[in-house]
Amino acid sequence: MEKRTTFQAFSNFRLDQSIIVCLLLLFIISLITVYSGSGQYAPSDPYFFLKRQIVWYIIGLIVLGAVMTFDYELLPNFSLILYIIGIVLLIAVYFFGIEKNGSQRWLQLGGFLLQPSEFMKIFLIIHLGAQIDKFKKNYQNSFKNHLKLTVTLFAWSIPPLLLILKQPDLGTSLVIISIVFSLLFVAGVSFKILLSLIGIGSSVIGSLVYLHFFHFDFFSKMIKPHQLERIYGWLAPEQYASSYGYQHLQAKTGIGAGQMTGLGFMNGVQSQSGRVPEVHTDFIFTVIGEEFGFIGASILISIYFILFFRMISIALEANSEYGTYIITGVIGLLAFQIFQNIGMTVGLMPITGLALPFISYGGSALLTNMIALGLVLNVRARTRKFMFSSS
């Protein structure tokens, strides 16, 4: 009888093949583009970044598998602990962090740099999901309670948001806002509240624009010089072609040169010449657009669409509302990063330094995304379909 139970438990473990195939394809694309775009940064060993990316992917897959082994419905019991750990690490960055390119975001751990803000995104999804699940079980559906839930989520989100802004890291801060809004939406919060929040955000942006033109001294105290330079480079790249707009123009030139089929592997002029800074990390989409053209870029975006389609399907089928909240947070996490990274490469968005999920070179970001995907697969593995079920 015990053997039968064990066999049934094993056979009921449902691994989503579509997500695994998408991850495998993203892994192949990542290795190709990282190798193509990173040679200029390690001329003595052209395989340096490629080998490290393979190691990070192997570690990421191990972590993904580990995340799938426990019951995700137990996570609310540890969500506060994880949240506190994330806050402590962010505070540690403030005192002991390593500074690179004007930002203090990393902690030195042996021979590796750890970026706590990346892991804080996962901890926040787990904790906010637990807060919504707890709230929905104990409170009735009313505008007053919707407002209370909104305040609760922002109260938990503001401390890490402020600590990350202090680094400064505007990109990750925007990701956190995206996660919060995604969870508020799926929690069924009143549209009046959501529209009010959008209105408040628009008013803040409008106020900053007003201060920029009429009270610049006060404005300059709120916005860092390098952040303002990125906005200038985004809005008027031709005017600042030799300074703030350089990255935008070079990236768009490379993608435009790729046309339909691309210039070919390792044949990208902008990518291989070093004219696009950080082309193996933040601007890796330039390599894809220039060397593989519109077709290559479309294939990558199509893989992302399939990935999101499967995640949405799993969220809708989940037996637990908490599982739905986790997947929604993951969707908000990945969708904004993909949109922002590709958008800044083609000039639709300002430069923020966000990596392209599963493609860009880097350890912390890749591990974070693997944990996020592991949570999605965890929910899928523990979703059961019952005959005559209405869910």
pLDDT band of 1, cuts 50, 70, 90:
very low
Neighbours of 299 (CB within 10 A): 13
140-199 pLDDT, tens digit per residue, is: 788 888 999 999 999 999 999 999 988 888 889 999 999 999 999 999 888 899 999 999
pLDDT value of residue 379:
94
pLDDT band of 220, cuts 50, 70, 90:
confident
pLDDT value of residue 139:
78
pLDDT at 266 over 60: yes
109-134 pLDDT, tens digit per residue, is: 777 778 899 999 999 999 999 999 99
Average confidence (pLDDT) over 212-231: 77
Average confidence (pLDDT) over 30-43: 85
pLDDT value of residue 3:
44
Q: CA-to-CA distance for 364 and 361, rounded, in angstroms?
A: 10
CB 356 within 8 A of CB 337: yes
DSSP code per residue over 309-349: HHHHHHHHH-SSHHHHHHHHHHHHHHHHHHHHHHHHHTTSS
Tell me whether residue 88 is exposed, middle or buried, using C-beta atoms within 10 angstroms of its C-beta: 0 to 12, 13 to 18, 19 or more: exposed
277-326 pLDDT, tens digit per residue, is: 888 888 999 999 999 999 999 999 999 999 999 999 999 999 899 999 99
Tell me whether residue 365 is exposed, middle or buried, using C-beta atoms within 10 angstroms of its C-beta: 0 to 12, 13 to 18, 19 or more: buried
pLDDT band of 13, cuts 50, 70, 90:
low
Which carries the bigger pLDDT value, residue 382 or residue 42? 382
Q: CA-to-CA distance for 340 and 338, rounded, in angstroms?
A: 6
pLDDT above 70 as % of the chain: 94
Average confidence (pLDDT) over 44-67: 91
Please give the angle made by the CA atoms of 81, 55 and 125, to the nearest 5 degrees.
25
pLDDT at 46 over 90: no
pLDDT value of residue 12:
52
Which carries the bigger pLDDT value, residue 123 or residue 236? 123
pLDDT value of residue 230:
79
Phi, psi of 239 (to 5 degrees): -70, -30
First to last CA, the chain: 30
The DSSP secondary-structure symbol of 70 reads: S
The neighbouring-strand residues paired with 109 are 112
Residue 82: enclosing H or E segment and its boundaries?
helix 79-96
Global pTM value: 0.89
pLDDT at 340 over 80: yes
Q: Indicate the range of 76-80, 122-126, 206-210, 355-359 predicted with least confidence.
A: 206-210
Please give the angle made by the CA atoms of 339, 344 and 350, to the nearest 5 degrees.
110
